[in-house]
Structure 1
Amino acid sequence: MFRGLWTTFKSMFEKPVTVAYPEQKRPVRERFKGRHVLKRYDNGLEKCIGCALCAAACPSDAIFVEASENTDEQRYSPGERYASTYEINMLRCIYCGFCEDACPTEAIVLGDNYELSFTGRNQAIYDKNMLLEPVPSGGLPTPQVTEPGRFTRSVPEMKDPVD
C-alpha cells in the first residue's frame, strides 16, 4: 500500500506529458501521412496528368480520377491530359501512401494536416479544388493559354546517348 502511495506522491512533482490541444499543436513526425495535397509546378501548372495510377494503387478504392485532353487554349498540365475530375473519399482513405508512391509526377502528396472533421458524408469527399495547393508566387492560375506546340514548363533536354 505504501509503495502505491509513494508512486502517486512522486508523480505529483513530475512535468506533465499532455498538451492543451487546441491552443498548442505538437509538430508531426517527418514521415507522418495526413491530408492529401495536389501539387503544382512553379509556373502554376498542375502536376497531375490524369493517369489514374493513384486510383489503381489505392487498396480502399478511395480515389476517383477522370482525365480530359489539354489544348493550347486551355492548358492545365504540361502533358497531353489532365485530371478534370479528382476526388478522394476521406472516409474510405486509410492513409497508406500508396497513391503517393504510384504517382509518376509526384503530384499527390500526403501532407501534415491532421485536423479533419466532417458533419456529413458529402463533406468527406474532397474534390480537386479542395486538394490543389494555391498558385505559387510568379505563377499563373490554370487554365493557361500556351503557344501552339509548346509547353510553358521548362523541361530539361535529353542528351543523346551516343554523345
Structure 2
Amino acid sequence: MDAVKGFGVTFSTMFKKVVTEQYPEEKKPTAPRFHGRHQLNRHPDGLEKCIGCELCAWACPADAIYVEGADNTEEERFSPGERYGRVYQINYLRCIFCGLCIEACPTRALTMTNEYELADTSRAELIYEKEDLLGPMLSGMVPAPHPMVDGTTEDDYYAGRVKGATDAQIRYAAERSGRPMPATTPAGPGGVPKEERP
C-alpha cells in the first residue's frame, strides 16, 4: 500500500509545470525587501551617515564586518558629529545576509540593496572596502571631506533638515580636489539647492 502511495506522488508531479529558471540568461526581479549587497549611505549634501560606532560589527553573528572609527576634524570632516568610519569592510565569504547589522545601525547608514551577483575570481575580491560600499553621488551631493552646512548641527542632519550641498561646501571640496568649482546658484537655508547641481 505504501508503495502505491509513493507512485501516486510521482505520477502527480510528472504533469506539473517545470519551474526551472533560465538564470543567468533570464533574470527575474527580486522582492523589494530582498537582502542583497550592503550599501553605506550619504546625507543629501554628500557627508557620510556612518559614525564609526561599530554596532553593526558587534551585531554580526558571522563576524563578517570590520569597522575602525576615527575623529572628524575641521580640516577633514567626513560625517556630521564627532566620528566617522575610517575603515569599513564586509567579508562576503562570511556574510549570511541576515540583516542584523541593518537593525543595529543607529543612523540608517547601512542598508541592503537588491544586488545579489557577488561571485568573483578570488577570495580577496569578496572583501569589500568602504569605497566599494559607499552609495553613489546623487544630485546636490559633493564628495566628503567638507564642512557641515553653516548654522546646522548633527541633529539637523539626522532629522533630515539638510537637503543638499551649499556653495561653501562645493567650493571647499573643489579646492581640496584641485578641480574647478561647478557653476551653481546660491543655496537657501539648510543647504536646499535652488537648481539641480551636477
Tell me the residue number matched to 1:121.
123
For 1:31 and 1:5, the matched residues in 2 are separated by 37
Q: Point out where structure 1 has 5 or more consecutive residues left out of the alignment.
A: 158-163
> What pairs with 1:29-108 in structure 2 (closer than 5 Å)?
29-108=31-110
Aligned residue pairs: how many? 151
Question: Which one has the bigger helix percentage?
Answer: 2
- Report the alpha carbon displacement of residue 91 of structure 1 after superposing the two structures with TM: 0.4
Could you tell me how far 1:125 is from its partner in structure 2?
0.5
Contact persistence 2:41–2:134 (CA under 8 A): yes
Percent identity of equivalent pairs: 50
- Contact kept, 8 Å, 2:69 with 2:87, in 1: the verdict is yes
Deviations 1:105-159 (A, max 9, x none): 01111111010112222111100000001111111101114588855884459xx
8 Å contact from structure 2 (residues 80, 148) kept in 1? no
Q: Give the 4+ runs in structure 1 shifted more than 6 A.
A: 3-7
Q: Separation in 1 of the partners of 2:46 and 2:30?
A: 28
Q: Which amino acid aligns with 2:144?
A: T
Say if 1:89 and 1:124, in contact at 8 Å, map to a contact too.
yes
Q: Which residue of 1 aligns with 2:164?
A: none
Q: Partner residue of 1:138?
A: 140
Asked if the contact 2:62/2:95 (under 8 Å) is kept, the reply is yes
Q: 1:27 to 1:147 in 2, by over 3 A?
A: closer
Q: Distance in 2 between matches of 1:78 and 1:135?
A: 17
Change (3 A) 1:22 1:146: same
* Maintained 8 Å contact 1:35/1:114: yes
* Structure 2 unaligned residues grouped into runs of 5+: 1-7, 161-198
> What's the TM-score once normalised by structure 1's chain length?
0.80
